[in-house]
Structures are given as structure tokens and as C-alpha cells.
Amino acid sequence: MALEREVETYRRELPRLLADDGKFVLIYGTDVLGIFADEEDALEAGYRRVGFATPFLIKQIREKEPVSVVPSVFPCRP
């Protein structure tokens, strides 16, 4: 799975990150590279620090994850 280590790092660090609820965290591998007020600043920092060709995670820090409901495109069949 892509960004598996980064997602695991986010989950592990979440209790500490919640002090910045609503902000955006930049994670590369097992390292938290920074916390930013908006997603654009986090993206610019990610490109500067990690590069354009290497994946990194930017995630909004939230105590509870929002749930998205996507309707099925195809009808269910028995």
C-alpha cells in the first residue's frame, strides 16, 4: 500500500498532534517534518524537503475522521 509507513506514523503520533487540531501535518516515512496552518504551505514544504518524485503524506489533523458516503454507481444484484 502506498504511504503505509506515513499513515502508521500519523496514527502513532496522533495523540501528540492533536494539540494542533485542524492544522496540516507533513510526514515522510517515520518522520513528522512539520505542522502547517494550511495545506498549500505543507505541500510547498514537502516539495522543498522531500522532492517532487518522492511520495509524502499531508493530512489534516483531526480527532475524528470524517465519513464519506459514496452512492453505488452500479445497482446491487442478488
| Region class of 22: left (phi > 0), else alpha (psi between -120 and 50), else beta | left
DSSP labels, 4-66: HHHHHHHHHHHHHHGGGTTSEEEEETTEEEEEESSHHHHHHHHHHHT-SSS--EEEE--SS--
Which residues are within 8 A (CB) of 37 and not within 5 positions of it... i.e. 6 or more apart? 23, 24
What pLDDT was estimated at residue 75?
Answer: 65
Residue by residue, pLDDT tens for the chain (78 residues) are 689 999 999 999 999 999 999 999 999 999 999 999 999 999 999 999 999 999 999 999 999 988 888 776 766 666
Residue entry with cell 510547498: 44
